[in-house]
């Protein structure tokens, strides 16, 4: 059963570290697609061998065709994933009482074989200088937006928490759709601490229809049943 976990620390780290944002997308696609997982593993192996060839100043052109083939497969899935996540985020913003607009963006995706080949050719000397491959899905920049502003520099801790709650809800809905309505387990550990009373109650109500959601919190909240929230006293 897929599990989606969110903690305040995770939200802060993902805000700062692009690699973690990329890893989250790869994980979420992989839990519903064994094919994507295999493609990702194959790509990682090709990337590793290509980087070794770069460091040894060997002929890296022999790896380019395999690199391009696998990169296109991964980018295609990530593009589809991003579109669906943003659709879910828009639906949530339009229909629920957490009154913020959340959006994600993947920068770096290339769609055509010739385009990737030209990028590799263009960056050949830079790669030799740096000693590794400088383009590809592993280098995608994942941007998060809250009310049309980039979250990293413009959101408070409470706003970041609301953003990640919306994102986790969207991830859960996408996984549920892919698994023919099988509910994923959502663990939200102490995510309410940065929220005011109104947003705490709204958050719990927001997730109450996700039957396998556990929200831990250090304070008792009036009017909520054990099915809605798991309280750590």
- Give me the mean pLDDT over the 215-227 stretch: 57
Question: How long is the chain?
Answer: 233
Structure tokens at 81: 């994933």
CA 196 to chain centre: 26
In this prediction, residue 224 carries a pLDDT of: 46
pTM over cut 0.85: no
The reported pLDDT for the residue numbered 151 is: 84
What residue ranges define each of the domains in the chain, with the CATH number in brackets?
3-231 (1.20.1050.90)
pLDDT at residue number 86: 94
The Cα 115–Cα 64 span in angstroms is 12
- 3-6/102-107 β-pairing: unpaired
Average pLDDT, the chain: 83
The encoded tokens of residue 67 equal 């690199």
Any idea what the Cα angle at residue 21 is, between residues 28 and 137, rounded to 5°?
A: 85
* Rounded Cα–Cα distance for residues 97 and 146 (Å): 15
Q: Are 139 and 108 a contacting pair, CB within 8 Å?
A: yes
What tens digit of pLDDT does each residue of 115-172 get?
A: 999 999 999 999 999 999 999 999 999 999 988 888 877 777 778 888 888 888 888 8
3 state DSSP class of 111: coil
Neighbouring-strand partners of residue 106: 142
Task: Please report the pLDDT score of residue 5 as a whole number.
Answer: 61
The rounded percent of the chain whose pLDDT value lies above 90 is 42
Q: Give 51's pLDDT tier (boundaries 50, 70, 90).
A: very high
> Which DSSP helix (H) or strand (E) runs through 29?
helix 18-30
What whole-number distance in Å separates Cα of residue 16 and Cα of residue 9? 11
Within 13 Å and on the Cβ side, how many CA atoms surround 48? 6
Is 130 strand, coil or helix?
helix
The predicted structure's pLDDT at residue 158? 78
Rounded average pLDDT over 40-48: 97
First to last CA, the chain: 28
Over the stretch 2-41, which tens digit does the pLDDT of each residue have? 666 665 556 555 556 788 889 889 999 998 899 999 999 9
């Amino acid at each position: 059963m897929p599990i989606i976990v969110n903690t305040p620390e995770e939200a802060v780290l993902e805000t700062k570290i692009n690699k973690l944002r990329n890893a989250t997308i790869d994980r979420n696609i992989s839990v519903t697609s064994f094919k994507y997982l295999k493609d990702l593993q194959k790509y990682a192996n090709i990337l590793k061998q290509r980087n070794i060839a770069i460091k040894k100043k060997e002929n890296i052109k022999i790896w380019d065709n395999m690199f391009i083939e696998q990169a296109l497969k991964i980018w295609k899935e990530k593009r589809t994933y991003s579109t669906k996540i943003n659709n879910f985020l828009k639906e949530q913003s339009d229909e629920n009482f957490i009154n913020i607009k959340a959006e994600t963006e993947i920068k770096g995706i290339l769609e055509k074989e010739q385009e990737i080949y030209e990028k590799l050719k263009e960056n050949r000397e830079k790669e030799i200088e740096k000693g590794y491959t400088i383009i590809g899905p592993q280098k995608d920049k994942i941007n998060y937006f809250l009310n049309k502003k980039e979250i990293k520099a413009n959101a408070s801790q409470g706003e970041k928490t609301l953003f990640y709650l919306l994102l986790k809800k969207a991830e859960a809905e996408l996984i549920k759709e892919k698994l023919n309505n099988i509910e994923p387990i959502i663990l939200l550990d102490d995510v309410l601490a940065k929220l005011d009373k109104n947003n705490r109650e709204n958050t719990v109500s927001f997730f109450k229809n996700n039957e396998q959601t556990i929200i831990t919190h250090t304070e008792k909240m009036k009017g909520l049943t054990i099915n809605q929230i798991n309280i750590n006293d």
